[in-house]
Amino acid sequence: MTKPAPLIDLAGIGKTYGSGTVALAGVDATIREGGFVSLVGPSGCGKSTLLRIVAGLVAPDKGALSWPASGARPSDIGFVFQDATLMPWARVAENVYLPLKLKGIAKEKAMPRVRDALARVGLSDFADAFPRELSGGMKMRVSIARALVTEPPLLLMDEPFAALDEFTREKLDDDLSGLWLAHRFTTVFVTHSIYESVYLSERVLVMGARPGRILADIAIDAPFPRGRAFRESQPYVEICARVSAALREGAAI
């Protein structure tokens, strides 16, 4: 099997904030089409900044970001924040419709797609609910439905499940993995959970803080779909230990 084409190419990306904090110092990485890559690191390692640079929300002040496969940043990028970030005044369907609405797509034309996206995250029955009526996990599902409604080639997730309880988190990890397998959108997933990153990803980029940089690039070859069996397998434990060791090495410097 030939390797998929690179979608994102990061070359020497650096970012220093106005306060003098070096968020990122010379990050090089290539992310291939259809891949699932996690960025793992302690707080302050610049993983969220890196994600925002990829999204185009923050401009790097050093280095270059290029899109070898498409030539330019895709016009549709899904983004999921740590909080569900829903509009509290709008019903669930309206929230999911938002990306299409902002693109000027009429509601009648968009509604089948909205219903589709809600079905994918298992919330078909909650289209008319207000966000405050939903649990934390359900809100996050709405947020994922909203990110996927445009069928983006790229999904960026910034510690999406960090605020959820362990049980809900594992369930959402499985659902996300299933969606990714079915649609193969390229995913960059920021997390500070080693276990989550190893379970979900084809590849983990371990990052260190002060200054933010990539410490290790660890491939995870286990086949998908991964289930409970993988979580309890020897290779899983070993890879987690490797990621953990790489993190400790970075912290010791």
**Site for other proteins, rule CB under 8 A:** 52, 55-57, 75, 77, 79, 81, 83, 85, 87-90, 98-99, 101-103, 130-132
Judged by beta carbon, residue 3 or residue 132, the one nearer other proteins is: 132
User: How buried is residue 199: exposed, middle or buried, by Cβ count under 10 Å (0-12/13-18/19+)?
Assistant: buried
Judged by beta carbon, residue 52 or residue 226, the one nearer other proteins is: 52
Give least dist CB 25 to other proteins, A: 24
Separation of alpha carbons 160 and 214, rounded Å: 21
Give least dist CB 117 to other proteins, A: 15
Strand partners, 190: 39, 158
Judged by beta carbon, residue 83 or residue 217, the one nearer other proteins is: 83
Give least dist CB 157 to other proteins, A: 13
Judged by beta carbon, residue 85 or residue 244, the one nearer other proteins is: 85
- Which residues, in sequence order, are CB contacts of 177 under 8 Å at separation 6+? 199, 200, 224, 225, 226
Side by side, the strands of the sheet bearing 36-40 are 77-80, 154-158, 186-191, 36-40, 203-208, 213-219
Give least dist CB 118 to other proteins, A: 18
Query: Which bin fits 44, alpha (ψ -120 to 50), beta or left (φ > 0)?
Result: left
Give least dist CB 102 to other proteins, A: 4
Separation of alpha carbons 149 and 79, rounded Å: 11
For residue 129 the two structure tokens come to 């609910």
Give least dist CB 87 to other proteins, A: 7
Separation of alpha carbons 113 and 202, rounded Å: 29
Separation of alpha carbons 135 and 58, rounded Å: 31
Judged by beta carbon, residue 63 or residue 74, the one nearer other proteins is: 74
Judged by beta carbon, residue 150 or residue 177, the one nearer other proteins is: 150
